[in-house]
Amino acid sequence: MSGAGLVVAVAGLGFGAEFVPIYRRHPEVADVVLVEPDAARRAAAAERFGLGPGCADVADVLADPRVDAVHLLAPVPLHADLAVAVLEAGKHCASAVPAATSLEDLDRLVAAERASGRSYMMMETTVYARELLAVREMHERGELGEPTLYRGCHLQQLDGFPVYWQGFPPMHYATHALAPVLSLLGTTVERVSARGAGRLTPERRTGGFDNPFPAEAGLFALRGSDVLADVTVSFFQTARSYVEGFCLYGDRRGVEWPEDNEGDLTVHDMSGPAPGSRGNRVVTRRLAPRDRPELLPEPLRPFVRPTEVHLPGAPAPTRVGADHGGSHPFLVDEFVRSAVEGRPAAVDARTAAAWTAPGVCAHTSALEGGRWVEVPDYRSS
Ligand SMILES: NC(=O)c1ccc[n+]([C@@H]2O[C@H](COP(=O)([O-])OP(=O)(O)OC[C@H]3O[C@@H](n4cnc5c(N)ncnc54)[C@H](O)[C@@H]3O)[C@@H](O)[C@H]2O)c1
């Protein structure tokens, strides 16, 4: 890194384009390099963001001593190999979820991060969403009481998505639905039992996977915790609008993710059984989770909501979305600061493995009719 800040390459300019303006505005980032094999997409991004032409191949930025860090937003099957290559090239690496889709690749990733001494971060959006920040605050204040039950879900329709998504094993993408409970309770998964639901239609099996299920549901037993995590992921044939969130119930308060994925949380407060009466009194209300821009460097604060920025060199202001609960600037800030400060990122390789492996094991379990599968413990790896 030069004294002037990090040079960050953003690789993959579909979803990845959302992150380019955030990096450009980060006070510790000097420059952004675009990586995208689709020349037309890359040229459009270079024009829109006022950047140089970039390159087609991650290998080019790995060979460039000016580049300090690479944020991977390429298709899922490439994540593990590219992340290991980035770390082996001595660069910091951020990666879209999931970190990998096999236990072997998770082991390679953990080893590569350790050998490199560089920062790796899995960019798990749910753990920085405003909804989760609100629940974390309640949990830390003890307002939930003793947590009892967690329900995570990720329901999305992947019809028409690129072929690498067709027939994708749902639990291989379980991090959005599972990571919140692991992050909130500071624990990991010990074992999992999952079942497949439904039967994928033949035209949805073109991605080359071993998966016959449009949806999978699993029970995840947590280390050192009596909380049971009940997680469902569905990508096809489940008629439900998109939602990627969770509910967490304690013995005093339960909190439920917005039904339409955005908007107010539902909060249930339970006051304890009245003497001599049946049941328990529960008062239900809506709560708008507040934004937390004060946790970010000033130039990144606008990105917690959709905004418009006029970047240096760009011909016009450009609109930047803020999907996933306004989490994107928090992810960028944590990754950049971990690199600059020379410390592990909040979702470093071992944490990423601990959040990703349970889904890999859950799919194995579903293929075997629900057998309980032990999940590796990455704490000492
Ligand atoms: N909430 C979230 O965390 C979230 C949301 C959306 C997408 N994602 C993840 O982000 C990644 C990208 O998603 P997307 O919807 O943009 O996918 P996409 O398939 O629409 O786009 C991927 C882009 O990467 C490019 N690409 C392909 N090979 C590449 C390579 N070797 N190096 C660099 N770029 C390459 C493609 O040309 C394409 O432009 C996926 O892994 C997806 O799972 C995460």
- Tens of pLDDT, residue by residue over 176-200, are 999 999 999 999 999 999 999 999 9
Give 28-87 pLDDT, tens digit per residue.
999 999 999 999 999 999 999 999 999 999 999 999 999 999 999 999 999 999 999 999
Among protein residues, the one with the nearest Cα to ligand 1's atom 9 is: 96
Output the CA 255–ligand 1 centroid distance in Å.
32
Query: Do residues 39 and 117 share a domain?
Result: yes
Q: Supply angle C-alpha 142, 350, 246, rounded to 5.
A: 40
Query: Do residues 230 and 369 share a domain?
Result: yes
Query: Do residues 339 and 279 share a domain?
Result: no
Chain position carrying tokens 């909804």:
131
Q: Is residue 1 part of a domain?
A: no
Among protein residues, the one with the nearest Cα to ligand 1's atom 40 is: 75
CATH number at residue 103: 3.40.50.720
Q: Is residue 364 part of a domain?
A: yes
Q: How would residue 234 be classed by pLDDT, with cut points 50, 70 and 90?
A: very high
Output the CA 274–ligand 1 centroid distance in Å.
54
Query: Do residues 149 and 199 share a domain?
Result: yes
Query: Do residues 33 and 116 share a domain?
Result: yes
Output the CA 254–ligand 1 centroid distance in Å.
35
Cα gap 132→257, rounded to integer Å: 9
Per-residue model confidence (pLDDT) at position 274 = 83
* 195 burial level (CB within 10 Å; 0-12, 13-18, 19+): middle
Q: In one letter, which amino acid is 362?
A: A
Query: Do residues 161 and 280 share a domain?
Result: yes
Pocket of ligand 1 contains residue 70 by CB under 6 Å: no
Give 315-373 pLDDT, tens digit per residue.
999 999 999 999 999 999 999 999 999 999 999 999 999 999 999 999 999 999 999 99
Atom of ligand 1 nearest to the CA of 124: 3
How many structural domains are present in the chain?
A: 2
- Sequence-ordered list of residues with C-beta below 8 angstroms from that of 21, at least 6 positions apart, any chain: 49, 303, 309, 311, 318, 320
Q: Is residue 133 part of a domain?
A: no
Q: Are strands 189-197 and 373-374 parallel, antiparallel or unpaired?
A: antiparallel
Query: Do residues 216 and 362 share a domain?
Result: yes
Q: Is residue 31 part of a domain?
A: yes
Question: Which residues span the domain enclosing 98?
Answer: 6-126+293-348
Query: Do residues 244 and 169 share a domain?
Result: yes
CATH number at residue 282: 3.30.360.10
Cα gap 9→328, rounded to integer Å: 16
